[in-house]
Chains A and B, each alone.
Chain A
Amino acid sequence: EIVMTQSPATLSVSPGERATLSCRASQSVSSNLAWYQQKPGQAPRLLIYGASTRATGIPARFSGSGSGTEFTLTISSLQSEDFAVYYCQQYNNWQTFGQGTKVEIK
């Protein structure tokens, strides 16, 4: 099983600042990596797939990068609606998720 490790567990950021979230795979997943946003009481929402392609309707302030085992989600200027939990998911070998990074208001 491929283990996905996200860091940090919690990220405190002020509105308007940049947020950088990391995701590491225990073995290469090529570019088969997605990012999701989840707000309390809601289903996850797909943000990024293929490591760097924004899903339909996702604002340009969200960007993804990386390949192999190291990946990054960057939110260029945090808006109030961006405070949530973010999960990475590899789909190169079955599907496994990271444990999540909570982005909270500083």
Chain B
Amino acid sequence: EVQLVESGGGLVQPGGSLRLSCAASGFTFSSYWMSWVRQAPGKGLEWVANIKQDGSEKYYVDSVKGRFTISRDNAKNSLYLQMNSLRAEDTAVYYCARHRLRGARTSRDAFDIWGQGTMVTVSS
């Protein structure tokens, strides 16, 4: 079964850090672009960051540039999001998502597989 499972969420104070993980199974993880997408409580979806199959390209939404770092370990079939200098507005459910096309050269693609999400709450 193709599956993504996020972990690492929790309650953190403003200015703090958190590292999210996403474990992939059931497919060749190293062949796909991967993204993080977040959803604030009661709000819509916001793409956060993506990473190429080999980790050579990484892109971020402006609001997290310089604070968040996306990475992957293909040997462990895992995706990560290191979040530093967290703000209240980063409070959200964070989903990892697989880009649809295997072996794609660009990140321009829909997301066909999503994890169940992990909640991050930034509050004092």
Residues of A within 8 A of B (CB): 32, 34, 36, 38, 42-46, 49-50, 55-56, 87, 89, 91-92, 94-100
Contacts and interface: CB of A to CB of B under 8 A. Distances in A.
B86 to A, nearest CB: 22
Interface stretch (B17-25, B68-76, B77-85, B113-121): B113-121
| Residue of B35, B111, B117 most packed against chain A (CB within 10 A) | B111
Contacts, number: 56
B100 A46 contact: yes
Nearest to B47: A95
Contacts of A92: 108
Contact of A43 (B59, B108, B116): B116
A44 B100 contact: no
Nearest to B46: A97
